Structure 1
Amino acid sequence: MGTDPRPPLNGRKLDSSDVLFTWQRWSQASSLRGDLVNSLNPDGPVLSVTAPDKDTVVLNLAFPSALLMDYLTDGFYIWVMPKESDGGFNPASEAHGAGPYYMQDFLEGVHYKMVRNPNYYEQPLPYIDEQTWYIIPEAAAQIAQFEAKNLDLQHGLYTVGGGLKQEDVVDTMKRHPELLLFQVPIMDVAATLKLGYHAPSPFEDVRVRQALSMLHDRDALAEFFTSKSKLEASGLPVKAIWASHISAMFPESGDPSDASSFGENAKYFAYNPAEARKLLEAAGRVGLEIVYHVNGADTTYVQNGELLAGHVNDTKLVNARVQVEDLNAYITPKISRGRGDFEGIGYSGVAFKYTAESFIYANFHPSAGTTNLKDNALFPGLVDMATKVARELDDAKRKDIVKKFVQDAAREMPTVPVGSSSERYALTWPWLAQAGVLRPWPGDTMGARNVLYSRYWIDQELAKRYGKS
């Protein structure tokens, strides 16, 4: 795997010493290292890593792991760093590696300029010599730049708050019928409330967790999150799927709105304020004060957090209050990687994964770096399944564990999924070949960009025909 041609790598090939360097650094410093390192977590599979020669890396395992490859290939997890990153360059401001592109220029708040790596291992890829990623926080400005043909692709455009709304696609298509419309599969984790279990916590009582879930009208929220009505009015079909405790990107998620297929515990996803009142009364928690800790670095989380808090406040059964938090000072250490040891509710991102099995382990095993549970005291059955699913090598048995986990989690409500997901519509100008054909895969938008964008190419004849300068 040839690296980029600039110093200090000078086009050399990555080898096992880079992998070993990465592992040693990651296993000593990463807050996620407990997921894999056996000395920190008996359910972590890796005892040691060695490199007997420049082309070979050996992982010595404590036991066979069904999830190890998911973790090692996760684009948000372990990045193989060249050993020169230890003093040879500053990885906080420079990017060097063996990917299809290397970063030639980064102007904070303006753009990233990516240039083709001539030493990329998968020749003749990438097809496009240079890509520029513009940093345009406001949705209206993004749309204006796209319509002005300064941007080639609408899929991948995002606001600081996480994405252009689907109705923007409809409106833009009406103004520019020459655009190509395509669908992108579900690749996200729908809105999920993380519960704080810092003792004493009201959420230690399953009745409170179930009541909180039943205070959410998921049909109404599905409209908000997917723009279903507007899209269907424009002739674009939408299948909105309620989130279970694993993302709807995985078929094993099931559909909590369908009791006939999801099971009897689907009732805890149904909007039922009357039953929620009974549960809160039995728990002595009517009028419960709840703080929603919301990611302040992301305007959509703030807006959605306010909507969700107002949604349950309308029932007059709880009093939810949004508190905007700093991403680095609070959200990451307390909500995302704090193992549920906080007070109130956390509303921010949820760990992405390739498979339903690794999603369960990452979010519901107490030793995982992104877990929602500080220990197994409240949820021994769920933790046991999260442990077993990581070690079960029989595909059919592993799928059975996932199915039971999803149905049992609906009753236990260790977190409260409230959002919905659907395949999203996206737009591209006709000259960006392959953009509407190649589809990303669930769970790893970083890897998808790496693979897909290296396979796009510019049709110069179409670019000229449609006035691309």
Structure 2
Amino acid sequence: MSLTYTRNEKWHGNEGGPWMDGVEVTFIPEPAQWEAQFRAGNIHEGVGSPANVPIVAAEMEASQIVKFPPPGYGGTVSLSWLPDMPFHDERVRRAMSMSMDRNAVVDIYNNPADFEAVGIELTGYWYNPVSPAYGQFWLDPRGSDFGAAAAYMQHNVEEATKLLDAAGYNSGNQLEFDVIEHPRRAPIENRGEVLQAMWAEAGMKVNVTPADYTSEWQEYLSGGRGYVEWKTGRPAVLLKPNSADSDVLFWLTRFFSQAGSSVGGDEFPELDTMIFDARAIADFDARVAAVHDIQRYIVDQMVAVPYDAETESTEIYNVGVHGPERWVPWMGLENYGAASSTLAKHYWLDAALHG
């Protein structure tokens, strides 16, 4: 199935009509068929499964891998703030973070070794949860500038176990909670199962529970802000994707302030003050410094536990695709923009690829 758009000679945008002869948008729901069509030269971008990109690149001479900045979202393990929940204890929140092996997350979801085998070097980034796509506004939690709170992002199961024990959770009183995955992302990522295994190493008992998108996910996410009881009656955490925004402070407002969905509920009023004070700063360097301080605070208090760790994004194209080689706009600038929608008029195909 496809949609074909043809050149409109009467288009008012520039003299002589649009630059493109036309656009054909193809709908291919099955990744295997997508890859088959790419290999056959019928489509010129993507193979459906990111894991197959280096495989196809190694086998198909007329292909090229391109890479662009990491995704602009910043997923968090968002916590329940109902009374008597274990997550009110910062030692529990920090232990959850320190149980995570973020380098392993990079390897699991991005396969950098497979890309290196075909000549593409990828860098692993830790979200804090601010994305490295925001450039200078992102503060690397592995860098010396992050300060003492950086320790809570390091993989340290021994220290995580000590923190849990100090909070009263051990083999005789195991910390148990449910993980609620995004219903549309869970079948693809299985991220809940990955975190479940990591948390188990520190002695936590974690149940990955399904959620209906409309009746459960949206109610718990949008209406709850951490104050809605989960259906099992157990403590629960939400794997919240936190999609990208046009500006890092708008993103922080959407997801971390009480004016937005506030993954921290009403528990961190000082964070609200920091975000809105930073939005009023016009000087670029001072604004960057203020955003860095916000990131240090979020990690120190572990307002929500960052779970994303990514490399640069990658895609595969036919070598007959030409243009400015700005394949996907920086995710800090456009939420869901892509070359196909934003920059398509600047690209063209070799004559051999014309159908």
TM value normalised by structure 1:
0.67
SS at structure 1 position matched to 2:132:
coil
Report the Cα distance in structure 1 between the residues aligned to 2:264 and 2:194, rounded to whole angstroms: 26
1:365 alignment counterpart: 257
Report the Cα distance in structure 2 between the residues aligned to 1:446 and 1:351, rounded to whole angstroms: 9
1:102 alignment counterpart: none
Deviation at 1:349, TM superposition (A): 2.0
Q: Within 5 Å, which residues of 2 pair with 1:84-233?
A: 119=11, 121=13, 124-125=17-18, 127-136=20-29, 138-154=30-46, 164-165=49-50, 167-233=51-117
CA change 1:332–1:455 in 2 (3 A) is: farther
Deviation at 1:140, TM superposition (A): 2.5
Contact 1:337 1:371 in 2 (8 A): no
> Over residues 392-437 of structure 1, what are the superposed CA-to-partner deviations in whole Å (9 max), with x where a residue is unaligned?
2332322121010111111111111122122123211233332744
Deviation at 1:288, TM superposition (A): 1.1
The answer to whether 1:441 aligns with 2:334 is no
The answer to whether 1:323 aligns with 2:183 is no
CA change 1:456–1:190 in 2 (3 A) is: same
| 2:219 aligned partner, one-letter code | P
SS at structure 2 position matched to 1:321:
strand
The answer to whether 1:463 aligns with 2:349 is no
SS at structure 2 position matched to 1:346:
strand
1:385 alignment counterpart: 274
> Over residues 259-303 of structure 1, what are the superposed CA-to-partner deviations in whole Å (9 max), with x where a residue is unaligned?
x23221100001112211221122223321111111222344551
The answer to whether 1:293 aligns with 2:186 is no
SS at structure 2 position matched to 1:347:
strand
Contact 1:339 1:366 in 2 (8 A): no
1:396 alignment counterpart: 285
Report the Cα distance in structure 2 between the residues aligned to 1:246 and 1:182, rounded to whole angstroms: 24
| 1:319 aligned partner, one-letter code | K
SS at structure 1 position matched to 2:330:
coil
Deviation at 1:338, TM superposition (A): 3.5
CA change 1:390–1:337 in 2 (3 A) is: farther
2:239 alignment counterpart: 347
> Over residues 169-198 of structure 1, what are the superposed CA-to-partner deviations in whole Å (9 max), with x where a residue is unaligned?
110011111112221222342543222223
1:411 alignment counterpart: 300
Report the Cα distance in structure 1 between the residues aligned to 2:352 and 2:64, rounded to whole angstroms: 13
In the alignment, which of 304, 309, 314 is matched to residue 201 of structure 2? Answer: 314
SS at structure 1 position matched to 2:179:
strand
Alignment length (residue pairs): 341
Contact 1:183 1:426 in 2 (8 A): yes
| 1:380 aligned partner, one-letter code | P
CA change 1:149–1:388 in 2 (3 A) is: same
Unaligned runs of 5+ in 2: 231-235
Contact 2:125 2:311 in 1 (8 A): yes
Report the Cα distance in structure 1 between the residues aligned to 2:248 and 2:317, rounded to whole angstroms: 31
| 1:382 aligned partner, one-letter code | L
> Over residues 205-236 of structure 1, what are the superposed CA-to-partner deviations in whole Å (9 max), with x where a residue is unaligned?
11111110011111212211221222223322
In the alignment, which of 427, 442, 450 is matched to residue 341 of structure 2? Answer: 450
Deviation at 1:257, TM superposition (A): 2.4
Report the Cα distance in structure 1 between the residues aligned to 2:14 and 2:301, rounded to whole angstroms: 47
The answer to whether 1:242 aligns with 2:126 is yes
In the alignment, which of 245, 249, 254 is matched to residue 139 of structure 2? Answer: 254
Aligned identity (percent) is 23
Report the Cα distance in structure 1 between the residues aligned to 2:226 and 2:7, rounded to whole angstroms: 43
SS at structure 1 position matched to 2:206:
strand
Contact 1:191 1:420 in 2 (8 A): no
Deviation at 1:445, TM superposition (A): 4.5
Contact 2:181 2:208 in 1 (8 A): yes
Unaligned runs of 5+ in 1: 1-109, 159-163
CA change 1:125–1:374 in 2 (3 A) is: farther
Contact 1:294 1:301 in 2 (8 A): no
Contact 2:99 2:201 in 1 (8 A): no
CA change 1:437–1:295 in 2 (3 A) is: closer
Contact 2:245 2:251 in 1 (8 A): yes
Contact 1:190 1:421 in 2 (8 A): no
Contact 1:183 1:425 in 2 (8 A): yes
Report the Cα distance in structure 1 between the residues aligned to 2:7 and 2:149, rounded to whole angstroms: 52
CA change 1:389–1:301 in 2 (3 A) is: farther
2:233 alignment counterpart: none
Deviation at 1:152, TM superposition (A): 1.6
CA change 1:187–1:302 in 2 (3 A) is: closer
Report the Cα distance in structure 2 between the residues aligned to 1:383 and 1:373, rounded to whole angstroms: 10
| 2:192 aligned partner, one-letter code | G
After the TM superposition, list the runs of 4 or more consecutive aligned residues in structure 1 that deviate by more than 6 angstroms.
none
